Amino acid sequence: MAQVFDIGMVGLGVMGRNLLLNLADHGFRVIGLDTDLGKVQALKNEGNRDSVDATTDAKVFLAAQRLPRAIILLVPAGKAVDAVINQLAPDLTPGDLLIDAGNSQFKDTDRRHQELATKRLNFFGMGVSGGESGARHGPSMMPGGPKAAYDRVRPMLESIAAKVNGEPCVAYIGAGSSGHYVKMVHNGIEYGIMQLLAEVYDLLHRGVGLTNSELADLFDEWHQGELNSFLMEITAKIFRKLDPKTGKHLIDVILDVARQKGTGKWTSQEAMDLQVPLLTIDAAVALRDISGYDVERAQASKLLTYAGPVLSVNKAAFVEQMRNAIYATILLTYAQGFAMLRKADKVYQYGLDLASIAKIWRGGCIIRASMLESFRMAYQDQPELPNLLLHPKIAEAVIKRQADLRATIRSAVGLGIPAAGLMNALAYFDAYRSARLPTNLTQAQRDFFGAHTYERIDEKGPFHTKWEE
């Protein structure tokens, strides 16, 4: 077969197939590889044009591509990625580029990058966000790896990416595993925002009795304003959806046990290793875990009762408070995620540009939201900003909403409705803005029982006290 294809795609599942068709729509010639003949045939039928082909034969796949090759892998993260790399690598030519576009763990990406570099092969870890429809019509993409190799695929990636004001939602992220790292943090933020929205739903529905239809209207209204975001938009649609089986609202027949593939947990684990506080995201992971204890929860609901005061809240005022509370806590969740990227950049020397990351998250991805534009501007204004909350405009956006956030949390406590995400976001804010924390006591205790020493506010050096005579 003649070497006519611009790019190859390994894995013709939902994401691979759609990304491939997106590339073909933009004038690139793409060949797919999959072990499943059914998927290969389906693509050939659907593609139905010269610029698309597919095969189950790796040799045919490689022979059909122009050199140096660019091959996107969209196979499940983990062993499957290594299996594909091991299968293809012996037949690749130095200078070829492999792009792992799955949700791979960033440490695996570093390892693969090093292994392939010894064979003079380029390797990219590229976060892709936006799900099925994003892949087909414009995802946000986070490619990290050797810069020169990026320049080769840049026109292709820019043409298939989502666009905001004509600007593509893809940019070179940085060295090594930076692309997968940034996607991991994206997913951590995604977990945090989803948890916050779940709590708002609980407070408005169970707490003050808003119906699903009222919730749909409210989320739609929020989506039209400053809270404009993909997650707000789909949540409104979810509240409207009816179950064809029962005729009820579908949301009411969905089991309340949240599953996870693990990227949110990785974000929290990695944040602990870097000693970066990630309170909202930690709470989101923990709440998904608690949701899994459904049998125990059913038992506990009968035993651990709360006959606390029935709150008389003014519905309209509560909804307005909630709008400010959710805005402030979503902002605080992004702030935690971006602060983690700031630290990771120092530790791993990725060369991240946080303004550019905020920019490519404005469209295509699951956490796209209007407020990202203000983050982009803040980082553009102060590229070395350690934390978004230290930018006067961002600080102001939280400060003016904090009274409503505090009131919302007081109501949650009174109602006995769990609001760990909201509470942790506020706790992050309150801890971060405390010039003096009570951790002086922690230090004293460590010195008391373990002679771990402490530092003083008025003199340099470690000190130890004999606490008891």
- Which of 131/292 has CB closer to ligand 6PG? 131
The DSSP call for residue 310 is P
Q: Which of 22, 178, 263, 280 binds ligand 6PG (CB under 6 A)?
A: 263
| Footprint (CB under 6 A) of ligand 6PG, residues 94-133 | 103, 129-131
Total residues binding ligand 6PG (CB under 6 A): 13
Binding mask 49-88 for ligand 6PG (x = CB under 6 A): ----------------------------------------
Does residue 336 touch ligand 6PG according to CB under 6 A? Answer: no
Q: Alpha-carbon distance 46 to 43, whole Å?
A: 5
Assign 244 to helix, strand or coil: coil
- Which of 191/428 has CB closer to ligand 6PG? 191
- Which of 123/191 has CB closer to ligand 6PG? 191
Instruction: Determine the residue with CB nearest ligand 6PG.
Output: 129
Q: What angle do CA 357, 361, 362 make, to 5 degrees?
A: 120
Whether 265 is a known active-site residue: answer: no
Does residue 261 touch ligand 6PG according to CB under 6 A? Answer: yes
Pick the stretch among 160-168, 204-212, 261-269, 346-354 that binds ligand 6PG (CB under 6 A): 261-269
CB of 338 to ligand 6PG, least distance (A): 17
CB of 149 to ligand 6PG, least distance (A): 23
Q: Active site residue: 190, 199, 233, 270, which one?
A: 190
| Footprint (CB under 6 A) of ligand 6PG, residues 17-56 | none
| DSSP state letters, 94-117 | TT-EEEE-S---HHHHHHHHHHHH
Q: Tokens 């990630």 identify what position?
A: 278
Does residue 260 touch ligand 6PG according to CB under 6 A? Answer: yes
CB of 309 to ligand 6PG, least distance (A): 36
The identity of residue 71, as a single letter, is: I
C-alpha closest to that of 226 among 336, 369, 395: 369
CB 103 within 8 A of CB 130: no
Token duo for residue 296 = 């125990």
- Which of 74/276 has CB closer to ligand 6PG? 74
CB of 11 to ligand 6PG, least distance (A): 15
| Footprint (CB under 6 A) of ligand 6PG, residues 127-166 | 129-131
Q: Alpha-carbon distance 11 to 43, whole Å?
A: 11
| Footprint (CB under 6 A) of ligand 6PG, residues 176-205 | 187, 190
Number of H helices, E strands in the chain: 20, 9
Q: Alpha-carbon distance 186 to 340, whole Å?
A: 11
Helix axis angle, 263-274 relative to 315-348, nearest 10°?
60
Whether 190 is a known active-site residue: answer: yes
Token duo for residue 348 = 């791993």
Residue 67 has a CB neighbour count (10 Å cut-off) of 11
Does residue 365 touch ligand 6PG according to CB under 6 A? Answer: yes
CB 88 within 8 A of CB 8: no
Assign 267 to helix, strand or coil: helix
Q: Alpha-carbon distance 169 to 135, whole Å?
A: 12
- Which of 185/322 has CB closer to ligand 6PG? 185
| DSSP state letters, 293-323 | -HHHHHHHHHHS----PPP---HHHHHHHHH
CB of 131 to ligand 6PG, least distance (A): 5
CB of 254 to ligand 6PG, least distance (A): 14
> 187-201 burial by CB neighbour count: b if 16+ within 10 A, else e?
bbbbbbbbbbbbbbb
Q: Active site residue: 44, 79, 183, 460, which one?
A: 183
CB of 294 to ligand 6PG, least distance (A): 18
Does residue 408 touch ligand 6PG according to CB under 6 A? Answer: no
Supply the Cα-derived Rg of the chain in whole angstroms: 25
C-alpha closest to that of 337 among 148, 187, 137: 187
CB of 82 to ligand 6PG, least distance (A): 20
- Which of 64/157 has CB closer to ligand 6PG? 157
Pick the stretch among 31-39, 168-176, 256-264, 309-317 that binds ligand 6PG (CB under 6 A): 256-264
270 phi and psi, to 5 degrees? -65, -40
Residues designated catalytic: 183, 190
Point out which residues bind ligand 6PG (CB under 6 A).
Answer: 103, 129-131, 187, 190, 260-264, 365-366
